[in-house]
Structures are given as C-alpha cells and as structure tokens.
C-alpha cells in the first residue's frame, strides 16, 4: 500500500509543521470562532457608529460572512489590514480587532482626521473553524466541496484522530524507502535525510489518519476545498493542492478583489499571515525575464515578451526597506522564521497585480529560547541561509521556549493500529499551535500591543498631498508666470512605481481652472508620477494671460492621496 499522502508529497518536514501544527490546545479559550468574531466586529462598530461601519464583502462556501470594518471617514486615503487568509492563523484576526478597538477608542490620536483604516479580520472563515472543531486540525481550505483525488467523490478521506487526543498531528511509518530521520536533538521532530552525507531515510511521514476510501492514499481528500491564500493570480500554482481550479475561484478572494476595485482610496495593505517582507524586505533582483531562443537574450520582466515580474521594481525598494526598518523599531521584532513562499497569496497579489504598497508579517513566533535550556545550535530561530540548512531550527526553538514556560508541546510517538495495515504506524510530534498562535497571557497581550502600534504607525504613513511655495510673477502686461510645489507630507510615496506603470492606483491629477485666463504655456490638466514621502515635492509651472486682480484655482487629487485646492490671485 502506498504511504505517501497527497499532503506530504510536495512538502519537507520543515514546511509540514507550518501547515499541520498551527493551533494551540487552549485555542477556544483565547481566540474567537466565526460567530464570536462577527459579533465582536458588529458590536464594536455599533459602539462607534459615527466613526465605523461594517460591510460584507463575500460569503464563504460554508455560508459565513467575510466582513470588512471601516474605521474613520470614508473619503480619506486608506490602509487595508487583511488577516486570517491562511485559515489557522488566528492571531491575525485578534490583532485586527485589537487595533480597531484601540484606534476607535482614541489610541491613534488625530489619525482618523487624516486616514481611513479598513480591517478584514478573517478572510478565510471556513478554514479558521477547523481550529475550533473536534478534533482540532489545521484546515487551510474553505468549505467548497472538492474532488481532490479525482475519483468522482468529495471529502471522503479526511484526517482521523487515531490516538484520541483531540488534535490531528503527524504520523510516521517505518519505510526502507522513506526520506525521513528522527531529529537527533529533538526526537519529536523529523528531518529529511541527506544522501550527500551518506544518510538513509527510515520513515515516511503522513498526517494522522487512515485510508478511509481504500484507494492506497492517506487523507488525500478531506473536508476543505480552496485555500484562499493560494487562490490569487500572482505566481498562481496551477493544479496545486487547494489552489483552486483557477485564480479567484473562491468567493473570498474574488470578493476581496471587488472590494479593492470599489475602494480606490486604499493606498497600502498590511497582511497578517505566513508571508513576510518586514523582517527581510523585498528587493529588486537582476532581470530574469523569458529568454528569446533566437537571440539568447532575456526580455524585460513585466512585459508580454518577458513574462511576469519576479521581484519588485527597483524604484520601490527603498520604501520597502524603510518600512521594514520602522516595523522592527516599533515592534522590537528583528529576527524570526523565513517567509512562506509567494504563490497565489494575498500579500504578493496586492503589490504585483494591484499596485499597492503591500507589507506582511506573521505577527508572532516563539521568542528566542533561554540559552540555559537550549542545546548548542538550537537556541535561536534561524533566518536566511541558516534556516535553509537547519529546517527544524524554528520548531526546536519553539519547543525549548515552551518548556522554559513550563509547557510541554511535543506528543511522544505512540504506536497506533490501523485495520488492514501490516506496517506499524506511530502518531506524535509537535502539538498543534506552537508556531503561529501565541499562548494566552503575557505573550498574547504583548503581541497585540506591538502589532497595534505598527498598524497605527503604518496608517499614519499614508501619502498626503499639499501645495507649498506659491509664486506669481508678472512677466509682461497681463502675463503671469505661476509656480507652485506639490508636496507629499506623508511618509509613503504617493504611489508605487509599479502602480504608476500599471496606472493602478491612479496617479495625482492636477487641474488649473482657467476661467477668465488664457493658457500660454504648461498644461491645464496633467497627471504626475509618484512623489516621494517626507515632504518632498515636484514643481509645477504655467504661464497665463489674464487681467490683474483675477483669481485662478488649482486643484490636485487622487483617491490614495486625498484632494487639495489652491487659490491663485494675480496681482
């Protein structure tokens, strides 16, 4: 009988816990299921009805409303906070709600006089409900019934709680052709054997369960259809597990896209989920466009000939670096697990396909374990190349950190019997919940506080335009030269360079009202490119013919920067 399940076919042990082990035993006591979260959002808006409102942007296949909470007036540049697109990532929902509550309670100072913040606390509510089920399991797909193994049946072979502990963990089977070994420093973990070092695997890794449909595969077609965080167009994994039949198939992803189209004032997006670009900011990489087989030259990325962009536009890199620096200074988080890959996720889509400033963070991970409780080599979470070389570093650190708190998070490997199977199976490994969601108490409280500070800071960084240094000079009888600086008093540039290239979002439109005057030079209506933040500006000039004493009017506006007007008296 074949023992490599659909879930594990494309995963290493290092990535497996991130999908399987993401909920904590006391999750129901510290996090809110769909009903409780929806109630909390509605009640918060009702308490602050002058400054908040709630809309439904989609209904999941499971019949659950995906809510968007508006904080602040609806006609200002906006930040969009998206949480829980990755179903098991419950901490994102709590951060979104805590930040909204604090800002509405006055914690943002005069922020709401300048900006709007939209919160989508739970983009994938069907998957999140797996965190509150019995047994608890890390569900990533929504409620869309899917024939994942193409056998004309749906949801017929899901996970099973074989050891009766109320959670779904990992399962291993002795296999001379297996690819896995026990981690020598932490027996509860498995690591992939390295043939270059003469290592031979001894185990195959599965998810806890049995072959319910007797097709030779384990748990390959359980409840859960489309992973919303894999269903967006950028770098979409065609035919990937839970990616959907096509991009935007899920009503949740489609609803978010329609919401963004309907709200062009959204200038920046903050995504709480597995993808991160704040510990290690995105960088521009040398061109890797499609090669012309005749000329042997690569075409420019982001074109029909060169294919999609594989990295950010160079002109945007300094902003991503600056926001990363601010995030680390504000939260105190400087090292942590490497980002999950960019494949159909909402973070990369927000920048590469929608042109917005897009920033992402996991929100929480186990802090560095105390040195006196850690073995050499496992005291710190690994980052970059270290993480790649030691795929279990983050998990080992989390285990040691929890032990230092007096909590054991590893289930010892225990033999289980599966009827009809001759091989010996063992269930165990790291408990659900230790990698994504902090335990209740001080760790959860500090996470909410630091993330709320950053949400508030990021909203305060939105672009904001103003006119400065107006000069009117008479250059002849009834002829005037007009000069004015259009400045960006926010921190973020008025647009991403990529967005300017795509014309989404729209750049700033300037209009000079010429009633009573004749334009001699310059353009009455023009569109500017991105203006860097921090008070930097671009100078606009015109020459007009008009009678002395006339007054012209100049306006500038875009949805993501707001609107300003300037009277121009000619005298």
- Same domain for 254 and 117: yes
3-state DSSP assignment of residue 525 = strand
Question: Would 295 be classed as within a structural domain?
Answer: no
- ∠ CA 13-428-156, rounded to 5°: 80
Query: Distance between CA 55 and CA 256 in Å, rounded?
Result: 12
Sign of CA dihedral 441, 446, 449, 454: negative
Q: Which tokens is 269 given?
A: 């997006």
Q: Are residues 348 and 449 in the same domain?
A: yes
What angle is formed at CA 403 by the lines to CA 181 and CA 413, rounded to 5 degrees?
A: 35
The H-or-E segment that residue 47 falls in is helix 34-47
**Domain carrying residue 561:** 465-569
479 shares its domain with 548: yes
Closest among 320, 287, 361, 309 to 496, alpha carbons compared: 320
What is the Cα–Cα distance from 346 to 360, expressed in whole angstroms?
10
Tokens found for residue 488: 């960006």
Number of independent structural domains in the chain: 3
Question: What DSSP character marks residue 314?
Answer: G
Asked whether the beta carbons of 184 and 190 are under 8 A apart, the reply is no
Residue 321 lies in a domain: no
- For residue 62, CA distances in Å to 31, 143, 170, 250 come to 20, 5, 27, 11
Q: Residue 225 and residue 244: Cα distance in Å, rounded?
A: 7
Residue 477, C-beta contacts closer than 8 angstroms, at least 6 positions apart: none
What are the distances in angstroms from CA 98 to CA 40, 101, 521? 11, 5, 53
- Does residue 311 form part of some domain? no
Q: Indicate whether 99 belongs to any domain.
A: yes
Q: Is beta strand 551-558 parallel, antiparallel or unpaired with respect to 509-513?
A: antiparallel
307: three-class secondary structure by DSSP: strand
Pair (475, 563) in one structural domain = yes
Q: What gap in Å lies between CA 216 and CA 194, rounded to an integer? A: 27
- Considering the domain architecture, whether residues 119 and 155 belong to the same structural domain is answered as no
75 part of a folded domain? yes
CA dihedral of 213, 214, 218, 223, whole degrees rounded to 10: 0
- Do 356 and 267 touch, CB atoms closer than 8 A? yes
**Does residue 11 form part of some domain?**
no
Cα–Cα dist 478/488, whole Å: 32
Pick from 430, 449, 477: which residue ends a domain? Answer: 430
Asked if the bond preceding 505 is cis, omega within 30° of 0, the reply is yes
Residue 400 makes CB contacts below 8 A (sequence gap 6+) with 369, 370, 373, 374, 378, 379
Q: Do 546 and 531 share a structural domain?
A: yes
Give me 316's structure tokens: 């945007």
Domain check: are 116 and 257 in the same one? yes
Omega before 135 within 30 of 0, i.e. cis: yes
What is the block-wise mean pLDDT of the chain (571 residues), using blocks of 10 residues?
35 36 42 96 96 97 97 93 96 97 90 95 95 87 71 58 84 91 92 92 85 58 81 94 93 98 97 97 86 83 82 95 98 94 96 97 93 47 48 91 90 87 86 85 94 97 97 95 97 96 92 95 95 95 96 96 96 89
CATH number, domain of 544, equals 2.60.40.10
Asked if 118 and 238 sit in the same domain, the reply is yes
Mention every residue, 6+ apart, whose C-beta is less than 8 A from residue 312. 282, 283, 284, 320, 351, 498
Q: Do 258 and 357 have their domain in common?
A: yes
Cα dihedral 5→11→14→20 (10° resolution):
-50
Query: Do 349 and 247 have their domain in common?
Result: yes
pLDDT at position 216, please? 59
**The pLDDT of residue 2:** 35
Count of alpha carbons within 13 angstroms of residue 101, beta-carbon side: 16
Instruction: List the one residue out of 386, 278, 404 whose CA is nearest residue 14.
Output: 386
Residue 249 within a domain: yes
Residue 88: CATH number of its domain: 3.40.630.10
Whether 354 and 470 share a structural domain: no
Q: Is residue 54 part of a domain?
A: yes
Q: Specify whether the CB–CB gap between 486 and 510 falls below 8 A.
A: yes
Question: Do 340 and 210 have their domain in common?
Answer: no
């Amino acid at each position: 009988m074949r023992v490599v399940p659909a879930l594990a076919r494309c995963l290493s042990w290092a990535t497996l816990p991130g999908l399987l082990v993401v909920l904590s035993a006391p999750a129901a006591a510290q996090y809110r299921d769909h009903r409780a979260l929806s109630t909390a959002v509605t009640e918060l808006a009702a308490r602050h009805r002058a400054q908040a409102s709630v809309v439904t942007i989609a209904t999941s296949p499971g019949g659950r409303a995906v809510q968007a909470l508006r904080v602040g007036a609806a006609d200002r540049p906006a930040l969009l906070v998206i949480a829980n697109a990755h179903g098991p990532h419950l901490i994102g929902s709590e951060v979104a709600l805590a930040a909204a509550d604090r800002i509405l309670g006055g914690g943002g100072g005069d922020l709401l006089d300048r900006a709007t913040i939209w919160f989508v606390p739970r983009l994938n509510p069907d998957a999140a409900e797996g965190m509150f089920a019995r047994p608890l399991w890390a569900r990533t797909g929504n409620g869309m019934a899917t024939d994942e193994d193409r056998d004309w049946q749906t949801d017929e072979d899901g996970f099973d709680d074989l050891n009766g502990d109320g959670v779904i963990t990992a399962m291993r089977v002795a296999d001379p052709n297996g690819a896995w070994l026990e981690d020598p420093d932490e027996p509860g973990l498995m690591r992939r054997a390295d043939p270059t070092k003469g290592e031979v695997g001894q185990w195959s890794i599965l998810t806890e369960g049995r072959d319910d449909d007797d097709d030779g595969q384990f748990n390959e077609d359980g409840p859960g259809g489309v992973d919303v965080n894999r269903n967006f167009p950028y770098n979409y994994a065609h035919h990937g597990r839970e990616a959907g039949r096509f991009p935007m198939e899920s009503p949740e992803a489609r609803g978010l896209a329609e919401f963004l189209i309907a709200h062009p004032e959204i200038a920046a997006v903050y995504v709480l989920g597995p993808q991160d670009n704040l510990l290690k900011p995105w960088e521009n990489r040398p061109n890797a466009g499609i090669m012309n087989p005749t000329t042997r030259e690569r075409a420019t990325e982001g074109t029909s000939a060169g294919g999609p962009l594989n990295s950010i536009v160079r002109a945007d890199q300094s902003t991503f670096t600056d926001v990363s620096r601010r995030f680390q200074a504000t939260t105190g988080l400087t090292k942590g697990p490497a980002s999950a890959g960019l494949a159909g996720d909402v973070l990369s889509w927000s920048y590469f396909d929608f042109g917005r400033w897009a920033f992402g963070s996991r929100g929480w991970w186990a802090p560095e374990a105390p040195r006196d409780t850690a073995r050499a080599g496992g005291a710190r979470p690994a980052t970059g190349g270290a993480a790649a070389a030691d795929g279990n570093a983050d998990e080992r650190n989390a285990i040691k950190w929890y032990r230092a708190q007096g909590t054991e998070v590893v289930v010892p490997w225990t033999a289980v019997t599966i009827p009809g199977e001759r091989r010996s199976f063992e269930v165990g490994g790291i408990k659900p919940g230790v990698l994504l969601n902090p335990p209740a108490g001080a760790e959860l409280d500090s996470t909410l506080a630091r993330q709320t500070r950053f949400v508030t800071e990021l909203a305060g960084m939105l672009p904001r335009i103003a006119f400065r240094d107006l000069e009117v000079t008479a250059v002849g009888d009834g002829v005037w030269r007009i000069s004015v600086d259009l400045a960006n008093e926010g921190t973020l540039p008025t647009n991403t360079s990529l967005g300017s290239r795509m014309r989404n979002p729209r750049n700033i439109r300037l209009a000079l009202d010429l009633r009573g005057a004749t334009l001699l030079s310059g353009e009455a209506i023009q569109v500017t490119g991105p203006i860097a933040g921090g008070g930097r500006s671009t100078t606009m000039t015109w020459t007009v013919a008009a009678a002395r004493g006339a007054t012209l009017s100049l306006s500038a506006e875009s949805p993501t920067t707001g609107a300003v007007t300037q009277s121009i008296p000619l005298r």
